[in-house]
Amino acid sequence: MELKGNWNYPTSIRFGAGRIRELPEACRSLGMYRPLLVTDAGLAKLPMVTDTVRLCTEAGLACVVYSNVQANPVADNVMYGVATYQAGGHDGVIAFGGGSALDVGKAVGLMVGQARPLFDFEDREDWYTRVNAAGIAPIIAVPTTAGTGSEVGRVSVILDEETHVKKIIFHPKMQPAVVISDPELSVGLPARITAATGMDALAHCLEAYCAPGFHPMADGIALEGMRLVREWLPIAVRDGKNIIARAHMLAAASMGATAFQKGLGAIHSLSHPVGAIHNAHHGETNGVVMPYVLVFNRPAIEDKLTRIARYLGLPDPGFQAVLDWVIALRKEIGIPNTLADLGVRESDLDRLTPMAVNDPSTGGNPRPAGDAEMRQMFTKAIRGDLS
């Protein structure tokens, strides 16, 4: 079976090996002739970016690269991009890379037509209505990692350096109009980043499935996304040139981000502040805290995890089967066991705990989680206590 297709769920996706060659035509279809390609500094030095720029240039597009993008991006990464966009007279954004580059690219596309500050568009109440929707630039997303699924999302996660809080910027038109999902672009991804981003995709599917509420479409997508992770993530980590494994993981990442419109939970609530304070990789942190959050949520999700275990074909289907699989998967692909392994200490908890409680993901957790519960999960994740 050829792993290629055109999907319109939730946006227009051109999926398959070699489809990066369709980028110039996709740009023209959106009226983009002077695109700003937003990526990170590391990727900007690699052939995949220089080849993509040359592809656009040879097709008559005046493509320029902006690469002032850091892991756990901050507002300045966005606003310098806006200044570059405006100074160059650009007419659209190509968001190219992993989750950080995609988030910054989408936020640049949002902010080029706004008069208010970036954090005025945080995903709170009806703040998205403050956006001048007509000023949002057209956006094409080209993911090069299989984790965040930001290519199909309507938000950007940006760190507020003043408060050290990751904030979610939201508007429906931030969702890219076209996604070019080419697994060949992820072939060179190092094993550690492959593992971390894969755990991010798993966390999205798992938390979406466990989130309360009625959304059978999200549940179905999340289940199949978890199956793809189970089958293909270890192979992608072990053999980074396996294009079939890369393709399935790229699909799983988009599926996770599509499913989590249903909700996320405490995995992300714990992970976001750790990333903000310790600059830890978000996917790796998700993988570290995942089993501890599952144990906390067990009274509310036991039936759901039994269904997951059956769908994944785990022996003795039940909660323990899923927990054992997660722990074994982490060991196999090299994800650390505890937050202590990432440099988190119990002395950090007075700072981290209220950030987790106030994280937007907390509302989707299957069990209520206030200060005491978040502190308990943090403590167990530091100590490696799965009791």
Determine the average pLDDT of the residues in 202-209. Answer: 98
* Coil, helix or strand at residue 11: coil
pLDDT tens per residue across span 83-113: 999 999 999 999 999 999 999 999 999 999 9
Does 1 score more than 70 pLDDT? no
* Integer Cα distance of 231 and 127 in angstroms: 40
pLDDT tens per residue across span 274-300: 999 999 999 999 999 999 999 999 999
pLDDT tens per residue across span 153-166: 999 999 999 999 99
Q: For domain 189-383, which architecture applies?
A: Up-down Bundle (1.20)
Q: What confidence tier does 40 reach under pLDDT thresholds 50, 70, 90?
A: very high
Q: What confidence tier does 168 reach under pLDDT thresholds 50, 70, 90?
A: very high
Give the start-to-end residue ranges of the domains of the chain: 5-185, 189-383
Identify the residue whose tokens are 């983009």. Answer: 32
H-helix segments, the chain = 23-29, 41-44, 47-58, 75-87, 99-111, 191-210, 216-238, 243-259, 266-278, 282-312, 319-333, 349-357, 371-383
pLDDT tens per residue across span 102-144: 999 999 999 999 999 999 999 999 999 999 999 999 999 999 9
For the entire predicted model, the pTM comes to 0.96
Determine the average pLDDT of the residues in 338-354. Answer: 98
Determine the average pLDDT of the residues in 171-193. Answer: 96
Share above pLDDT 70 across residues of the chain, in percent, rounded to a whole number: 100
CB atoms within 10 A of CB 150: 30
Determine the average pLDDT of the residues in 341-350. Answer: 98
Three-state SS for 92-120 is EEEEEECHHHHHHHHHHHHHCCCCCCHHH
* Coil, helix or strand at residue 136: coil
Determine the average pLDDT of the residues in 355-364. Answer: 96
Supply the mean pLDDT for the chain: 97
Share above pLDDT 90 across residues of the chain, in percent, rounded to a whole number: 99
Does 377 score more than 90 pLDDT? yes
pLDDT given for residue 188 in this prediction: 86
pLDDT given for residue 357 in this prediction: 98
Q: Tell me yes or no: is domain 5-185 CATH 3.40.50.1970.
A: yes
Determine the average pLDDT of the residues in 250-271. Answer: 97
